Amino acid sequence: MVALQCRRRITCGPGGSKSPGFAKLHPESSVPCRGIARRLAVGLIGSAILFASLAVPARAQDEEDDEAVEVSAAQAKPFRLYRWQEDYSYLANKRQRDAWEQIKYIPLPGLPGSWLSLGGEARYRLDGYSPYLFGIGKSGFDWASNQERLLLDFDLHIGQVFRTFVQFDTSHEGGRPVQRAYDQSAPDLRQGFVDVVLPMAGGNFMVRSGREELYLGDSRWLSVRDPTNIRRSFDGFLAEYNDRMLTLRAFAAHPVNILPGSFDDATLNSEYFRGGYAAVRSPFGIPMAVDAYVYGRQQASVTYARGTAAEDRWSGGARIASSVRGFELIGEATYQWGSFGSAAISAYGAFGDVGYRFAPRDFLRRKVTPKLGVRAHYASGDDNLNSGAFHNFTGAYPAASVISEMSLLSVSNATNIQPYAQMLIAPGLVLGANWNFVRKVAVADSVYGPIGTLITAKGSKALDVAQIGQVDMTWEANRFLQLHALYAHIYAGQYIRDAGGRSFDYYRLQAMWRW
């Protein structure tokens, strides 16, 4: 028997016979997708390999041309995931700016050292499932979702002290049987904050207030939720000290509740996020970055396998990242405490990624850099649903892809190991392949699917959840255009089969234009 239950009340998700709060799904509203787009995804990956090896001009070999390429690359700053992190002040002293550079750096008359920068993003994305979520629940049939979003941002700097950043978005999605709140909205304010920066000895101190994407650091349990159409933002404040070696951040904020109308998004006061985050670069001259944090997420209502209650969950942990002689290492461990209803939280989770990047090699007139590695993740589960101790680990706002890119298995009560291979083909093409083994940790607890769902196979003692084989491609076709394709086959494990599920296919196609 399988039960899919609502885990959070503010978002929509697939529901089953024991989820009366979810809207009924209508198979006739789905987009026909069996086979066609899946073959298109695989074909796009293969075509990109051939095109990149034959069509992109070969890299210049003489020293003079190499020097010119390096100068150009130094001037052409890459786009960032968080667009407010981009800094175009380097264009101030450029004598002749092209049309794009003229909108990235607009000097303000009469205000030396002040400028306005304009930017944006247009993205199309297709996600297909055959069938969705192992075929479990009312949404467990073949369908595809078409997503379009537009982001526009305005970044105003007044000298070195004052800065304001405003970003608007509009998003549309079609084909999903049940519409999620964070995929579709009329034009709205996604970010709007003010920074005041005060120089200090060796660094600076910044206070930010307003609506913002709350970037704290590179922790695996904190994410902007970029794969969805509408990114996560918060209303609150952030204080930050920053120098060459150290960054300290303290914050307090409420998430933004996304509503479908124009400029109607409001503060979600039933949820509260606060804490501190520190990042140290090259401590004692050691080539590594070290992050440490303590933060708490408070929610009025959350649902787990043991039931629904209010939760105040605190997380304390650390992350290290290092790269030495081709070896690349990321490790993170977190302990959680607090309360869920009358139960005391005591949970722990960890993530690791170890890889080796080989020296670049010449292949078909391209510079090719192979990388081999393995990722792993562990999150404790609730081993006794009636005890006074609650051992289920969950990230505060984790990336949906912690376990896999299909984003249908969440971090709670799960462990996985994922050997992978990557091929970086200059300029701008990355090919990847991996195999992923996913298991439950605690027998008594459920498998946690997308936000809002639990997959429960009553009476099952099985721990095997799934194996996932995946190939993917990301191609920076030029500075402005990125193309992405992914295909995965998900083999249902014994626990999923006990829940009435079966194996399925997932594919994704995405085109993104940034300026």
Q: Give phi and psi for 349, each to the nearest 5.
A: -145, 160
Helix (H) or strand (E) holding 345: strand 343-357
Helix (H, G, I), strand (E, B) or coil at 181: helix
- Using the predicted structure, report yes or no on whether residue 192 has a pLDDT greater than 50: yes
Q: Could you tell me the two tokens for 379?
A: 């999150």
Q: What is the end-to-end Cα distance of the chain in Å, rounded? A: 50
Q: How confident is the model at residue 155 (pLDDT cuts 50, 70, 90)?
A: very high
Going by C-alpha positions, the residue among 358, 470, 354 that lies closest to residue 406 is 470
pLDDT reported for residue 455:
95
Whether the predicted pLDDT of 36 surpasses 70: no
Peptide bond preceding 107 in cis form (omega within 30 of 0)? no
Structure tokens that stand for 166 in this block? 């405003």
Identify the pLDDT of residue 46: 52
Distance in angstroms (rounded) separating the CA atoms of residues 95 and 53: 36
Give the CA count within 13 Å in the CB-facing half-sphere of 20.
Answer: 0
**C-alpha closest to that of 402 among 345, 450, 452:** 450
Q: Specify the higher pLDDT residue, 7 or 324.
A: 324
| The pLDDT of residue 69 | 36
> Using alpha carbons only, what angle is made at residue 402 by residues 399 and 404, rounded to the nearest 5 degrees?
115
Q: Spell out the residues 6+ positions from residue 40 whose beta carbon is closer than 8 angstroms to its own.
A: 507, 509
Binned at pLDDT 50, 70 and 90, residue 372 comes out as: very high
- State the pLDDT at residue 201: 82
In what order do the strands lie in the sheet containing 454-457? 2-3, 454-457, 447-448
Rounded-to-integer distance, Cα 33 and Cα 10, Å: 29
Per-residue pLDDT reduced to its tens digit, 109-119: 999 999 999 99
Calculate the CA dihedral of residues 515, 103, 84, 405 and round it to 10 degrees.
0
Non-local (6+) Cβ contacts of 57 within 8 A are none
Cα–Cα dist 230/24, whole Å:
23
DSSP state of 397: B
Mean pLDDT computed over 273-290: 96
Question: How many CB atoms sit inside 10 A of residue 390's CB?
Answer: 27
Average pLDDT over residues 319-335: 97
pLDDT for position 265: 97
Backbone angles phi, psi at 54, to 5 degrees: -110, -35
Overall average pLDDT of the 284-303 stretch: 96
pTM of this prediction? Answer: 0.85
Answer whether residue 422 shows pLDDT above 50: yes
Provide the 3-class DSSP secondary structure of residue 68.
Answer: helix
Mapped onto helix, strand or coil, the DSSP state of residue 476 is: strand
Mean pLDDT of the chain: 88
* Of 187 and 452, the one with more pLDDT: 187
The whole-number average pLDDT for the span 193-203 is: 93
The burial of 202, by beta-carbon neighbours within 10 Å (0-12 exposed, 13-18 middle, 19 or more buried), is given as exposed
Query: How far apart are alpha carbons 25 and 18 in whole angstroms?
Result: 14
Residue pair 507/488 in contact by the 8 Å Cβ criterion: yes
Q: How far apart are CA 497 and CA 134, in angstroms?
A: 9
The answer to whether residue 3 scores a pLDDT higher than 70 is: no
Question: Where would I find the beta strands (DSSP E) of 358-480?
Answer: 361-363, 366-379, 389-390, 414-425, 429-440, 447-448, 454-457, 464-476
Q: Using one digit for the tens of pLDDT, what is the confidence trace for 213-232?
A: 999 999 999 999 999 999 99
Percentage of residues of the chain with pLDDT beyond 70: 85
Segment 52-61 shows an average pLDDT of 39
Specify the CATH number for the domain of residue 71.
Answer: 2.40.160.100
CA-based angle 81:83:85, to the nearest 5?
95
Residue 399 is predicted with a pLDDT of 86
Torsion of CA 414, 329, 85, 247, to 10 degrees: 100
Q: Domain count of the chain?
A: 1
User: Is pLDDT at 38 greater than 70 in this prediction?
Assistant: no
Nearest CA among 28, 144, 31, 15 for reference residue 450:
15
Ramachandran category for residue 9: left, alpha or beta (phi over 0 → left; psi -120 to 50 → alpha) = alpha
Beta-carbon contacts of 51 under 8 Å, excluding residues fewer than 6 positions away, are: none
Distances (CA, A) of 347 to 54, 76, 114, 273, 311: 52, 45, 49, 19, 14
Top-confidence residue, 419 or 400: 419
pLDDT score of 429: 96
Instruction: Select from 491, 494, 502, 413 the least CA-distant residue to 459.
Output: 494
Q: What does the pLDDT read at residue 496?
A: 98
Q: 233-258 pLDDT, tens per residue?
A: 999 999 999 999 999 999 999 999 99
d(CA 451, CA 408): 9
Domain that holds residue 302: 2-514
Strands 343-357 and 389-390 come out as parallel
